[in-house]
Amino acid sequence: MARKSRHHYRREEQQAELDITTFLNLMVVLIPFLLVTAVFSRITIQELHLPTEAAGGAKLERPQISVEVIVRKGLIQLSDGDKITSTIRNVENHYNIKELSRQLQSLKDKNQEVKEATLLVEPDIEYETLIHIMDAVKVAEVKKQDGDEGIDRVVLFPQISVGDAP
C-alpha cells in the first residue's frame, strides 16, 4: 500500500480588520441623546440633631422649656417634656399641619430663646407625613404684616431631634 503523505496545509493566519465606524456612529448619536434625556435629580437632606445630653448621662444646661411633638396615628400631641399640653386631631384623615404651625408659633412667641424640638414618631407613620411635620416645626409661613401680598417665613425650632414615640 502506498503510503499517503499528509500534506499539512498551513493556513495563513489573517488578521481580521475591525470595522468600528458603525459602532462609532451609534455612539455619536446615543451619547448626546442619553445626556439630553437624563434626569438630574436633586437630593434634599434634612439636618437632624442628637438629643442634648453629654456623654456619661450628665445633662447639659437646658432651656426652661422642652418642645416635643408626638406624632400618633390620627393625632399630633405637643408636650413640654413632662405632660401633654395640646392635642391636634386629624381633619378629614389628614394631619392638621396648619393648626400645628399656629400652636408652635404661639409657643415660639413665648419662648424666643428655644431653638430645639424633639419629634417623637410612632412606627407606622408615613415618611412624607414626617417630612411635612418636620417642615412645620422648623419654619412657619405667615402673611406679611406690612400690607404687602406674599408670605414671610418665620424660623421656629430649627434644631430637630427624632425619636420613637412613647
Establish how many alpha carbons lie within 13 A of residue 112's alpha carbon, considering only the half-sphere containing its beta carbon. 1
Q: Does residue 25 form part of some domain?
A: no
Question: How far apart are the C-alpha atoms of 77 and 113, rounded to whole Å?
Answer: 22
d(CA 139, CA 107): 13
Q: What is the pLDDT of residues 99-126, one digit of tens each?
A: 999 999 999 998 889 899 999 999 999 9
pLDDT per residue as tens, the chain (166 positions): 555 555 555 556 677 788 889 989 999 999 988 888 876 666 666 666 665 554 455 555 545 678 999 999 989 999 987 889 999 999 988 999 999 999 999 999 988 898 999 999 999 999 999 999 999 999 988 877 766 677 888 899 999 989 888 8
In a domain, 50, yes or no: no
Residue 17 within a domain: no
Q: Residue 20 falls within a domain, yes or no?
A: no
* Total number of domains in the chain: 1
Is 24 within the bounds of a domain? no
In a domain, 18, yes or no: no
Given the C-alpha cell 442619553, which residue does it identify?
A: 34
Note down the domain range covering 87: 64-164
